[in-house]
Amino acid sequence: MREKLQRIQAEARKRIQESDGLDKLNEVRVAFLGKKGELTAVLKGMKDVAAEERPKVGQWVNETRAELEELLEETKKKLEAAALEQKLKEEVIDVTLPAKKMEVGHRHPNTIALEEVERIFIGMGYEVVEGPEVEYDLYNFEKLNIPEGHPAKDEQDTFYINKNIVLRTQTSPVQARVMEEGKLPIRMIAPGRVFRSDEVDATHSPSFHQIEGLVIDKHITFADLKGTLEEFAKELFGSETKTKFRPHHFPFTEPSAEVDVSCFKCGGKGCRFCKGSGWIEILGCGMVHPHVLEMCGIDPEEYTGFAFGVGLERIALLKYEIDDMRLLYENDTRFLRQF
């Protein structure tokens, strides 16, 4: 019996030492100490040992078992340490690698330009209001004196949701909405997105932005309109800026005008930027048509007012000297970071 145990022990030792991984080591443990293991088998066979021999044999078995368990435990620790070391070696961090950059966004030139326009008008006591992008035909056209059959209502120019609802083609419907609320006087600007059925090119997009302006009060005249817009142009493009009002037609204003500013690039001498004319067109404006006031519940005998509409992209393109509108919609951070 003694020899048998010594043989088992020697065999186990050898196999433990040969184990090159935790899995292998566990196999050895099962093979000798497990339920069906060799040493366990010896214990199970104790009933065949002569009674007087049993205590001694039992002691040997226990000693062998204790010794093997100790050896298994020691080897397990060594293998675990080796495995950890190996893992650390493989996962070593190269501190010389360039760090991952945190890409922080940048304010869009449209946003910068809008905030500038808002700052100027808020400084003159205007309120900033908003209207819906999906608008009733009634507000987008009818109440602005644009009746059935007007070319602006053509399907070529307008995105129709149905006969009565459109994607607004201008921010002017906000004028009608604010006037209808009936709180007078009014000094407001209304920035927002507008939609037209246009092909994309360097100066057109089916979706762009406008800033509407509206003032309604007693005794408002064309002189107020001129003074306001001259001041606006100077604040926006520099104090040297001159302003020119050209007669024009808009259905909802009478009289109407288009406003040009002296080219801030050449000061009016004529350059590539202003196409040689010395002037750059920036907005449309006029005195609110009496019929529009009436349709919106305001007495044109008591109140008068002026309105204007500016293209936001146009301002951004001019201010930052960008020559292609498409750049504004691509959201390429290399482009946006410049402003």
- List, in order, residues 6 or more apart from 15 with CB less than 8 Å away: 28, 31
309 binds ligand DAH (CB under 6 A): yes
Least distance (Å) between residue 111 CB and ligand DAH: 21
Least distance (Å) between residue 195 CB and ligand DAH: 11
Q: Where are the beta strands (DSSP E) in the chain?
A: 127-128, 134-136, 165-167, 186-195, 207-217, 243-250, 253-262, 279-288, 304-311
Identity at 143, one-letter amino acid code? K
Which two structure tokens, joined as six digits, stand for 69? 């368990």
172 binds ligand DAH (CB under 6 A): yes
Q: Quick one: which of 64, 253, 262, 304 contacts ligand DAH (CB under 6 A)?
A: 253
285 binds ligand DAH (CB under 6 A): yes
Burial class of residue 217, CB neighbours in 10 A (0-12, 13-18, 19+): middle
Least distance (Å) between residue 333 CB and ligand DAH: 31
308 binds ligand DAH (CB under 6 A): yes
How far apart CA 284 and CA 282 sit, in angstroms, is 7
Q: Quick one: which of 117, 307, 316, 328 contacts ligand DAH (CB under 6 A)?
A: 307
284 binds ligand DAH (CB under 6 A): yes
Size of residue set near ligand DAH by CB under 6 A = 11
**Only segment of 78-86, 109-117, 128-136, 281-289 that touches ligand DAH (CB under 6 A):** 281-289
Whole-angstrom CA distances from 206 to 14, 18, 79, 247 are 82, 76, 69, 27
Q: Quick one: which of 135, 137, 212, 260 contacts ligand DAH (CB under 6 A)?
A: 212
Task: Tell me whether residue 28 or residue 310 sits nearer to ligand DAH (CB atom).
Answer: 310
268 binds ligand DAH (CB under 6 A): no
Q: What is residue 215's three-state secondary structure?
A: strand
Is the bond leading into 255 cis (omega within 30 degrees of zero)? yes
Least distance (Å) between residue 115 CB and ligand DAH: 21
| Closest residue to bound ligand DAH by CB | 309
DSSP 24-86: HHHHHHHHHHSTT-HHHHHHHGGGGS-TTTHHHHHHHHHHHHHHHHHHHHHHHHHHHHHHHHH
Least distance (Å) between residue 338 CB and ligand DAH: 29
281 marked among binding-site residues: no
**Only segment of 36-44, 55-63, 269-277, 302-310 that touches ligand DAH (CB under 6 A):** 302-310
As a whole number of Å, the end-to-end CA separation of the chain is 92
260 binds ligand DAH (CB under 6 A): no
How far apart CA 229 and CA 310 sit, in angstroms, is 11
Q: Quick one: which of 250, 264, 279, 303 contacts ligand DAH (CB under 6 A)?
A: 250
Q: Assess contact for 174 and 192: CB atoms under 8 A.
A: yes
Contact positions toward ligand DAH, by CB under 6 A?
A: 170, 172, 212, 250, 253, 284-286, 307-309
Feature table: binding site for Mg(2+): 254
Feature table: binding site: 254
